[in-house]
Amino acid sequence: MTIVGWCHRQLRLIWHRKSLAGPRSGRPPTLDYVEDWILTLHRNNRGYSARRIAAILRHDLKHPIDKNTVARILKKHGLTPHPPDTTTSRHQDPDWRTLFHNHAFYSMDFKTTLDALCRQVFILNIVDHKRRRLVWSRATHNPTSAWVAQQIREAFPFDEARGGIMLIDRDSIFAHIAAHTLPSFGMRVRRTAYRCPWQNAVVERFNRTLKEELLSSIVVLNLRQLNRLLSEYRTYYNTARPHMANDGEPPTPIHPVAANDSDIGHNPSRCRLEAIPWLGGLHHSYRLSA
């Protein structure tokens, strides 16, 4: 070995030792307890995507993490994250976008399902566009204009919707509602064009979510049971379920309070992950407990 070669070899050894002693480059490794949280969330909620698990960690446990990191950890343990929603949004007319931003905007529509006796059940859903808040969800076997009018009165008891706009389709049951009930509440009516369900996309998307997260997992025995579940689902949907449209926050977030928060934020590795069941364990929200 020449002197020049020996010098280069020593120089490489010096830099190698420095690289080992210095701080690691790139992203910091995911802590073991965070990895345990991710696996627990996936085990309790098999249908949740990596993006939704990341949103729960950010909102419930105050631990920001990228959805790709969550997916990588699940794959490392031989688990396949549920694919995220890939619904393609259609182009919206600029006039509709202006309305959405400048007014209190609500939409209303029915979702149908069957009960245990194969009777059709109609679920009326009202959604606030601003934060995707579920204002009302109620079921009946016999939807009439009078029944819908009563649901609107119960959904908006304190004139909170006055001056707002209600978006509805051209179902004949809404004719009297559009002409009389909604104007009496100080609301304007916007009706979708024929064969354009995408113009009512917010409530249409909610109807799909309701089917995926509740209706497909239960047997409807009677209206009392279903309306009780819809009421609890509305609370879960508005206060605990992460929404991508709200950057992972629920429409009306209520941050979970730990049972004993003296160590929370200082030593999260010493805290226990506590699951809060919703709808009999069909869904969960989470908090840290010391």
CB atoms < 10 A from the CB of 215, how many? Answer: 21
Please report, in tens digits, the pLDDT of each residue of the chain (290 residues total).
Answer: 676 566 667 667 766 776 666 665 556 677 788 888 899 998 888 888 999 999 998 888 888 899 999 999 999 888 887 766 544 444 444 455 555 555 689 999 999 999 999 999 999 999 999 999 999 999 999 999 999 999 999 999 887 888 899 999 999 999 999 999 999 999 999 999 887 888 899 999 999 999 999 999 999 999 999 999 999 999 999 999 999 888 889 999 876 655 555 555 566 777 888 899 999 999 999 988 76
Task: List, in sequence order, every residue forming a beta bridge with 25; answer none if it has no partner.
Answer: none
Using CA atoms of 113, 116, 118, 122 in order, give the dihedral in degrees to the nearest 10. -30
- Contact yes or no for 286/274 (Cβ under 8 A): yes
- Going from N- to C-terminal start, the domains of the chain cover 32-86+255-289, 94-246
Query: What is the topology classification, in CATH, of domain 94-246?
Result: Nucleotidyltransferase; domain 5 (3.30.420)
**Max CA pair span of the chain:** 98
Residue 200's H or E segment, with its range, is none
φ, ψ dihedrals at 205, nearest 5°: -65, -35
pTM exceeds 0.85: no
Length of the chain: 290
